[in-house]
Amino acid sequence: MARISTVGTLGALGLLALVAAGCDAGGDGGQFASGGTAGSGVDGDDGGKSDDGQDDDAGGSTDGDSDGDNGDDSGEPSDNEDVKEYIEEAKKEFPTYEDIHVKVIQRTCTPFQNVCHNNKEYPDLRTPQGVIDRIGRPCNLNEVYNDPESVFNGCEPVGDQLRFVGGGNDGMVVEIGYIDTVDDGLGGGTVNITVKDTIPASMASGGVPESAVIERMVGGQMQTVGSLDNVLSYAPGGNMITVVNSATFEDDASLLETNVTYGDPNRDGIYGATMDEPMLEIAAGDPWNSYLLQRLQGNVPGSPMPLANQPLNASEVVAIACWIEGTADEGGAETDSVIDYDGCDYAAELVEPPDGGGATLSGHIQPIFDQSCAFAGCHSENSPAAGLTLTPGRSRDAMLGVASTQAPDIPLVTALNPTNSYLMVKLTSMGTSGQQMPINGDHLSEGQLEIIRTWILQGAPDN
């Protein structure tokens, strides 16, 4: 499970905040993202013991130890019998991609015409072939165009290149990260272009603007996107080029704002396309770097998917992952190709995490519950809040597949799907009502949250 846990770490608290958004990029909000983010506190409650008691799914206080290194590490993950059952169910229900599409994608992503991924949001998932066509395609394009600062790094595109023509850095090529435009309201202004690499040399003449050509690699051939003629000013050792006010300012600004692809649209200094393993919408043979699957599981930032329909269950997640893994094989990307579950590494790593990695119920999860949740007045066996008992021997059965009382359509724990597990919602926000859990003490640390996420991603095994 090492690779799955690594992807989860990439998302960190960005995905746990459960930011309200519609479909793939914008909209009216997620199905249980109406509360605050981690540390949000009270929503209409007096706090502490005066809480309304309705489905505060993990309550209590802590003893101050919130570094994520809780309890006994001795229990090594063993073969996960529950995941074996999920795999067998997937074999039976989803022998081919066509079965996945009819039973899962059409139900969750495209049930209504011109809504969400039915001819509205990217990607269009209406037909089996439409999904297959996503193999090898860029991911997260809605955000790239509509909300660039929320783009996941792994989905950032390769930025266009700016090549200096003449001047102090003649021939130097830099990747464009993003731009900022300042309009003076009189038809002019300035444009600041942030580039990936520092500019080594000074301008040939400080008072004489220089020129550049903007280029893009298309099909192995470099194509010209446009030019900036005698309008560039910059300082050596920096990463910013200024397009100065000129007679061509309006055209120059329009070129940069509408025709240029940025390599760092979220402006965090990371150019995602140059990461070791950037994501694609569907990466042939690689479910770990397929944004479609990782977004459905909540391993990348963004609102939980699907927004308004029943979340994927464990066998559905396994089916999609194993189908993606097989798309690299000859004929594996056909709608009627039989999915090779027995040869699926993704499924094998769920059954037996490599190198003993992962999180166990007894050695990692239950100690967190014991410390923060399972005592009198909260989730002990004596009058547990919201009827939820989180004591040893009872916590897993009380959560796995059991509907939350606050959000009845969402189980407290959905195996393999932490973002659609209401337990995680309450641990990181107020959820649909009440308070963020635990109530009377420190909220769980990032390390503790990642432990719980990892356990859920592994199928919430009873180990």
Residue 384 reports pLDDT greater than 70: yes
Distances in Å between the Cα of 383 and the Cα atoms of 53, 378, 390 are 11, 8, 12
**In this predicted structure, what is the pLDDT of residue 433?**
83
233 strand-pairing partners: 242
CB 400 within 8 A of CB 452: no
More confident residue, 47 or 257: 257
The total number of residues shown for the chain amounts to 463
Helix (H, G, I), strand (E, B) or coil at 193: strand
- Is the pTM higher than 0.85? The answer reads no
Q: Is the dihedral of CA 345, 349, 354, 357 positive or negative?
A: positive
Per residue in 293-342, pLDDT tens? 998 888 887 776 776 667 788 999 999 999 999 999 999 999 999 999 99
Mean pLDDT, range 11-20, rounded to an integer: 31
Mean pLDDT, range 242-257, rounded to an integer: 90
**In this predicted structure, what is the pLDDT of residue 5?**
38
Residue 36 reports pLDDT greater than 80: no
Residue 431 reports pLDDT greater than 90: no
Residue 28 reports pLDDT greater than 50: no
The separation between CA 332 and the C-alpha centre of its own chain, rounded to angstroms, equals 26
More confident residue, 412 or 11: 412
Number of neighbours of residue 251 by Cβ within 10 angstroms: 12
Per residue in 96-126, pLDDT tens? 999 999 998 888 776 666 667 766 677 888 8
Mean pLDDT, range 228-237, rounded to an integer: 95
Per residue in 173-210, pLDDT tens? 999 999 998 877 776 778 999 999 999 999 999 889 99
**In this predicted structure, what is the pLDDT of residue 99?**
95
Mean pLDDT of the chain: 79
Task: State the DSSP H helix or E strand holding residue 345, giving kind and residue range, or none if neither.
Answer: helix 345-351
Q: Where exactly are the structural domains of the chain?
A: 1-25+95-155+275-341, 31-80+360-463, 161-259
Which runs of consecutive H residues, i.e. helices, occur in 96-243?
97-100, 106-108, 128-132, 141-146
Residue 45 reports pLDDT greater than 90: no
CB 416 within 8 A of CB 405: no
Got the DSSP string for 8-38? HHHHHHHHHT-----TTT-SS--TT--S--T
Query: Residue with structure tokens 């605050």?
Result: 36
Most confident range (mean pLDDT) of 11-20, 63-72, 237-246 is 237-246
Number of neighbours of residue 340 by Cβ within 10 angstroms: 14
**In this predicted structure, what is the pLDDT of residue 195?**
97
Distances in Å between the Cα of 292 and the Cα atoms of 217, 283, 315, 322, 339 are 26, 9, 16, 13, 18
194 strand-pairing partners: 178, 240
φ/ψ region of 23 (left if φ > 0, alpha if ψ in -120 to 50, else beta) reads left
Structure tokens at 338: 């039989």
Got the DSSP string for 329-346? STTTTSTTPBP-STT-HH
